[in-house]
């Protein structure tokens, strides 16, 4: 209900929510489990193409370097963990005992990765409409983050990029 999507193949959702620590613990008990890392890999690319396409179409006056910086701001770990927090994704994650004890449900890297895995699961589950469905899910987060970043005026790039530009 929270994400506005109903899975046809719930195993994709389960996989997206399964952290490697949990999968490892199940495998140690001779139970089958697949963690969300492969979905995270795909989700990263799906997120990148959706974001790039949106920026390309809606910021036609921006040069490539600025588009790249904008994309980096809205797909970074900080932003992704914020998207996850907005839907309470951390509460649904399957974590191993150690991650659970170490507050893994609220660790940026874990929830950011899970968001990418969830996006990939939606993309795959929707079949032929995968890209459109994934876009419908993620674009509201991206557009809101673009507005926030523009309002803060922080499309100035990461420190490494700023240093490289200064040196050049």
Catalytic residue, candidates 44, 66, 85, 100: 44
Within 8 A by CB and 6+ apart from 95, the residues are 19, 21, 22, 104, 105, 110
Q: Backbone phi, then psi, for 129, in 5-degree steps?
A: -95, 15
116 is catalytic: yes
What is the rounded end-to-end Cα distance, in angstroms, of the chain? Answer: 50
Among 15, 116, 125, 145, which one carries the catalytic annotation?
A: 116
CA angle 54, 44, 150 (to 5 degrees): 40
Catalytic site residue 158? Answer: no
Which residues belong to the active site? 44, 116
């Amino acid at each position: 209900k929270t994400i506005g999507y109903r899975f046809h193949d719930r195993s994709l959702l389960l996989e997206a929510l399964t952290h490697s620590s949990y999968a490892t613990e199940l495998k140690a008990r001779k139970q089958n489990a697949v963690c969300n890392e492969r979905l995270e890999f795909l989700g990263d690319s799906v997120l990148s193409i959706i974001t790039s396409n949106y920026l390309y179409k809606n910021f036609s006056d921006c040069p490539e370097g600025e588009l790249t910086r904008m994309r980096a701001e809205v797909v970074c770990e900080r932003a992704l963990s914020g998207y996850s927090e907005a839907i309470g994704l951390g509460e649904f994650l399957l974590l191993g005992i150690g991650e659970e004890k170490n507050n893994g449900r609220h660790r940026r890297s874990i929830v950011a990765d899970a968001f990418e895995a969830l996006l990939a699961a939606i993309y795959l589950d929707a079949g032929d409409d995968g890209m459109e469905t994934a876009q419908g899910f993620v674009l509201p987060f991206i557009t809101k983050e673009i507005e926030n970043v523009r309002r803060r005026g922080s499309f100035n790039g990461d420190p490494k990029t700023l240093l490289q530009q200064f040196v050049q």
